[in-house]
Amino acid sequence: MVRTASRKMAAVANAPAPAPAGPPDVAVEHLTHVYETANGAVKALDDIDFEVPQGKFVGIVGPSGCGKSSLLLMLAGLLQPSEGRIVVREHALTAPRPADVGVVFQEASLLPWKTALENVEFPLKLRGTARAERRDRALELLELVGLADFRDRLPHELSGGMRQRVSIARGFSQDPKILLMDEPFAALDEQTRLTLGDELLKIWTRHQKTVIFVTHSLTEAVYLCDEVLVMSHRPGRIIDRVTIPLERPRTYEMMATETFGHLRERIWRSIRTT
């Protein structure tokens, strides 16, 4: 009940940001997932319901192991729901739809035999983009994540944070309508985190993307998102939706404001009650 109520609220309060009206880009209905393991079943997600209108930036926060990554896998069409369904851009999702949905995974999962540049090029190569074009595009993105000097390095020659940045660049190069990001900045220092967050916002605004963003940093969640979904402990449920009414473009100064502090506090309290 609380859930439905807050959801209505969120829908109403969702005024700002460059989102045009229209059917939601992502609609999740009664989504449940149970993992079968040798030691019995684990219910990872329980009856998840939400919608993400086109062009929104939605954050997901919740305790470790609550099912955030599982949810993202399902949204990407990589994991079949045990119950419920997912509608992406008005079509029920049954398999990956790379043009619509792209993922930046929690663990970088770079192809170890490809250089940083080749990894970023990979989605373009898959769809047959011409060599020169994809090279330019990939280089641009490597520049963006600060790794232009490392274009010819193999993943095992990069630091943890560098690998994660390559993975982010790869997600951008795929250029999907909807970008799912699973703690993309976890391995990065605060400075890089801020810079990349701003770059992400720029890309999001410029290309009218929809972003679903898992993070553990509440500051980051408030700074980036239009709305933050708070998930409960296992089995994951959505226990709160917090709309972030801060205006766009966001600036670092906002972080010091009282509203920002309150919003952060609000989410923090939600999580702690789980």
Ligand X SMILES: Nc1ncnc2c1ncn2[C@@H]1O[C@H](COP(=O)(O)OP(=O)(O)OP(=O)(O)O)[C@@H](O)[C@H]1O
Q: Which residues bind its own copies (CB under 8 A)?
A: 35, 37-39, 42, 61-65, 67-70, 106-107, 152-154, 157-162, 165, 183, 186-193, 216-218, 268, 271-272
Strands 40-52 and 101-104: unpaired
User: Which region among 90-98, 154-162, 198-206, 217-225 touches Mg ion (by CB under 5 A)?
Assistant: 154-162
What's the closest the beta carbon of residue 91 comes to another protein, in angstroms?
7
Residue type at 135 in one-letter notation:
R
Site string for another protein, 97-116 (x = CB under 8 A): -xx-xxx-x-x-x-xxxx--
What's the closest the beta carbon of residue 184 comes to its own copies, in angstroms?
12
What's the closest the beta carbon of residue 246 comes to ligand X, in angstroms?
25
Q: Where are the alpha helices (DSSP H) in the chain?
A: 2-13, 68-75, 116-126, 131-144, 160-174, 190-207, 218-224, 258-272
Distance CA 108, CA 251 (A): 28
Site string for another protein, 28-67 (x = CB under 8 A): -x--------x------------x----------------
Question: In 3-state terms, what secondary structure has residue 61?
Answer: strand
Cβ(227)–Cβ(243) under 8 Å? yes
> How many chain residues bind another protein (CB under 8 A)?
44
Strands 238-243 and 40-52: unpaired
Cβ(33)–Cβ(267) under 8 Å? no
Per the DSSP assignment, residues forming a β-bridge with 42 are 35
Can residue 69 be called a binding residue for Mg ion (CB under 5 A)? yes
Distance CA 201, CA 249 (A): 9
Q: Considering Cα of 191, then 67, then 69, then 95, what sign does the dihedral take?
A: negative
What's the closest the beta carbon of residue 190 comes to its own copies, in angstroms?
6
Distance CA 172, CA 190 (A): 21
Q: In this structure, what are the phi and psi dihedrals at residue 184, rounded to the nearest 5 degrees? A: -65, -25
User: Which region among 23-31, 128-136, 160-168, 247-255 touches Mg ion (by CB under 5 A)?
Assistant: 160-168
Can residue 188 be called a binding residue for another protein (CB under 8 A)? no
Residue from the set 7, 85, 135, 233 that interacts with another protein by CB under 8 A: 85
Residue 165, contacted partner among its own copies, Mg ion, another protein, none, CB below 5-8 A by kind? its own copies
- Residues of this chain that interact with another protein (CB under 8 A) are 23-24, 27, 29, 38, 51, 73, 76-78, 80-83, 85-87, 90-94, 96, 98-99, 101-103, 105, 107, 109, 111-114, 122-123, 125-127, 154, 156, 170, 174
